[in-house]
Amino acid sequence: MKIPLLDLTKQYRSIKQEIDQAVMNVMEKGNFVLGEEVSLLEQEMAAFCGARYGVGVNSGTDALLLSLMAYGIDRGDEVITTPFTFIATAEVIAFLGAKPVFVDIDPKTFNIDVKKIEQVITKKTKAIIPVHLYGQMADMDPIMDLAKKYNLVVIEDAAQAILAKYKESYAGSIGHTGCFSFFPAKNLGAYGDGGMILTNDEEKVERLKMLRNHGSRVKYHHAILGCNSRLDEIQAAILRVKIRYINSWTQERKRIAQGYNESLSDISWLTIPFEEEWNRCVYNQYTLRSQFRDKFQKHLTEAGIPTAIHYPMPLHLQEAFSFLGHKKGDFPESEKASSEVISLPIYPELTDEQRKAVIEGIRYFKVE
């Protein structure tokens, strides 16, 4: 049986007529940049995720970058985040000449260990970027308490976490901004790059909109320096079709994760994902950990079961961040996670037969 790690064509085929129509409508109208589709998607995303405003941008990376810029993060400032994430989270901090200050993760949730944040706050600290990794939200209450106490900006990296919940709040609705990615592999994926900033901060909405469009409010008049970071009208039209399915797709991901959990929880050499009781994880990834990870992955590859490693090297050990002067051992939980995590195929279109075949393949693995 063929089991792709991710099958985007199956989803497209299931909604082909609606998608094709939406794309054609944009072409018929002939308005390709910052038109009606982007505005409507901004309103719909905000309403879906319990925030007041949305600003469509060209990627999750730029959602983070523009958020930092809107709050004036600049050269010499420090921004706290986790080293166990995709590089974009910390890359944008360094791009602005600010310093990423890493805090190790909680090994159970893979998210920033909130107990370790306060000890790295200095006079230069301006912001915290918690990442809701794999679709499970970071522990936001203590983060928001610290932000209040030290007057810090909180930018949620919700790239993997659309519709994830922390207590009663959706991902991206708690911090000063919430940053989403519409990269095709995300739970709400475009057919190309895209991103969205959510915020309740009315004052910053206009600034964010200017920053994504060369600092311009009125055409050819530039009040500030910005970027070209606009969300494409065709992608917005596609996303407006897909957003209507996101609730049922999310439920399907949760059902698949539950199925994996039930079948794998008795295996002593594997740890299944831990979900905080007050969290709703949306499983952008279904990630196990095992001390035998490399041998286990080889076994699965040979059995025709694709897997992925999110992520094989924590950011403090990446060559691109060598200027920060970190060494092995600085963030031991992140380093251990990098050597132990392995993600299984998970997407709404994965069939029960495919899931069972994955489980069977896992059960054939012998540790010795």
Ligand X SMILES: Cc1ncc(COP(=O)(O)O)c(C=O)c1O
Q: Decide if 186 is catalytic.
A: yes
SS3 110: coil
Site string for ligand X, 193-232 (x = CB under 6 A): x-x-------------------------------------
> Rounded CA gap, 291 and 342, in Å?
11
User: How is residue 47 written in tokens?
Assistant: 């309403």
Q: To the nearest whole angstrom, how small is the minimum distance from the Cβ of residue 8 to ligand X?
A: 15
Minimum CB distance to ligand X, residue 60 (Å)? 3
Task: Give dist(CA 224, CA 70) in Å, integer.
Answer: 11
Closest approach of ligand X to the CB of residue 266, in Å: 31
86 binds ligand X per the rule CB under 6 A: yes
Q: Which of 186, 204, 209, 242 is catalytic?
A: 186
Residue 17 beta carbon to ligand X: minimum distance, rounded to whole angstroms? 27
Residue nearest ligand X, Cβ-based = 60
Q: Which residues contact 310 (CB under 8 A, 6 or more apart)?
A: 86, 134, 285, 287, 341, 343
281 binds ligand X (CB under 6 A): no
The region, left, alpha or beta by phi > 0 then psi within -120 to 50, assigned to residue 347 is beta
Determine if 271 is a binding residue for ligand X (CB under 6 A).
no
131 near ligand X, rule: CB under 6 A: yes
Phi, psi of 191 (to 5 degrees): -105, 50
124-139: buried (b, 16+ CB within 10 Å) or exposed (e) per residue? ebbbbbbbbbbbbbbb
* Interface with ligand X in residues 153-182 (CB under 6 A): 157, 159-160, 181
Task: Give the C-alpha separation, 169 to 357, whole Å.
Answer: 36
In this chain, which stretch among 37-45, 53-61, 201-209, 273-281 interacts with ligand X, using CB under 6 A? 53-61
Say how many residues touch ligand X, by CB under 6 A: 15
Binding footprint of ligand X on the chain (CB under 6 A): 59-61, 85-86, 88-89, 131, 157, 159-160, 181, 183, 193, 195
